Chains A and B, each alone.
Chain A
Amino acid sequence: MTRIYPETPAGPFDPPPAVFTDAENRQIEIQTYDDGSIEPFVTMYLAFEPADRAQGIPPTNEPRIREWLEQILIDESVNVYATYDGGVIGHATLVPDGNDAYELAIFVLRAYQQSGIGTRLIYCLLGAGQARGVERVWLSVERWNAAARALYRNVGFEPTDADGFEFEMSLRLSATQ
């Protein structure tokens, strides 16, 4: 499948680490994941609100969560995560799609949503992606999810396929070499 990407690169974006105070006055830290333990992520996804799942992810039970994380928290992917009080409360990832582009997704625990953490996570993720030389990023979002679509659009994503159940958007992170 040929996906269209914007001609002009978005950003530049700053990679992690980042520390900031969210809208609820919580001190949030964002870091890049490399080669650490997956356990803090398992804990986060076990606490994930099932109603906040989209398009079948994250999975709902522990074995499937572990299996899924083992496919995502790999060297080839770019992962950043947000912590509060020592626990992981948000995670954003770029997973290679096998066609020189990366699929993006972001997850924030319900108690930490709508406080600016998601936006910061995406900026940090794209910064980490830029630092790693990622050129093209795409995502799909459920058609009804206007809030998510607006957030992605603000970051620089443009719609590519509006025909299906899912709404696809893409972004260029750096000019093609």
Chain B
Amino acid sequence: MRILVGIDQSDRVAPVLSGACQRLSDGDSITVAVVAPTDEASMDELEMAVSDYVDANELGATVTTLSGHPGSELVELAERKGFDRLVIDGGRRSPLGKIQLAALTEFVLLNATMTVTLIR
């Protein structure tokens, strides 16, 4: 299975990538797409954080960057390259514990044509 992981937040790099890798089977391949960050990090910093994590944990994943609207670029890449699954951050919780879907999560859920996995 070919898996595309979308990353948009520097403090969620490790949880999302480790979550994605826990679900791998033999023969699966991972591509990580870095999209415009929603936090203070720059695109370069976020890509660096992703590359460092991929190297340090020997994930053997390809890392790419996507400029433009994060959700639509991610879904478009997944369709064009025939990925079987899209993995993204599942959103956060409010101070009260309410689940809050990020804009990227919402867009991907509504528009992706392949299976989507949300990492919590």
- Residues of chain A touching chain B, judged by Cβ–Cβ distance below 8 Å, are 54-57, 59, 68, 71-72, 93, 95-98, 103, 105, 140, 163-166
CB neighbours (8 Å) of A59 from chain B are: 97
Interface size class of B (residues with CB under 8 A): 10 to 19
Closest Cβ neighbor of B110 among chain A residues: A165
Whether A96 lies near B95 (C-beta < 8 A) is yes
Whether A164 lies near B106 (C-beta < 8 A) is yes
CB neighbours (8 Å) of B103 from chain A are: 163-164
CB neighbours (8 Å) of A57 from chain B are: 96-98
Rounded to whole angstroms, the CA-CA distance of A33 and B51 in the bound complex is 49
Rounded to whole angstroms, the CA-CA distance of A129 and B101 in the bound complex is 28
Contacts of B18-34 to chain A: CB distance below 8 A: none
Whether B97 lies near A68 (C-beta < 8 A) is yes
Whether B106 lies near A72 (C-beta < 8 A) is no
- B57 interfacial by beta-carbon distance below 8 Å: no
- Residue in A71, A163, A166 whose CB lies within 8 Å of B100: A166
- Residues of chain B touching chain A, judged by Cβ–Cβ distance below 8 Å, are 93-101, 103, 106
Rounded to whole angstroms, the CA-CA distance of A63 and B36 in the bound complex is 38
Closest Cβ neighbor of A93 among chain B residues: B96
Whether A165 lies near B106 (C-beta < 8 A) is yes
CB neighbours (8 Å) of B101 from chain A are: 164-166
Rounded to whole angstroms, the CA-CA distance of A164 and B106 in the bound complex is 8
Whether B96 lies near A105 (C-beta < 8 A) is yes
- Residue in A56, A97, A98, A105 whose CB lies within 8 Å of B99: A56
Given A56-B97, A72-B97; 10 other pairs, CB 8 A cutoff: A54-B98, A55-B99, A55-B100, A56-B93, A56-B98, A68-B97, A71-B97, A103-B96, A105-B98, A163-B103
CB neighbours (8 Å) of A96 from chain B are: 95
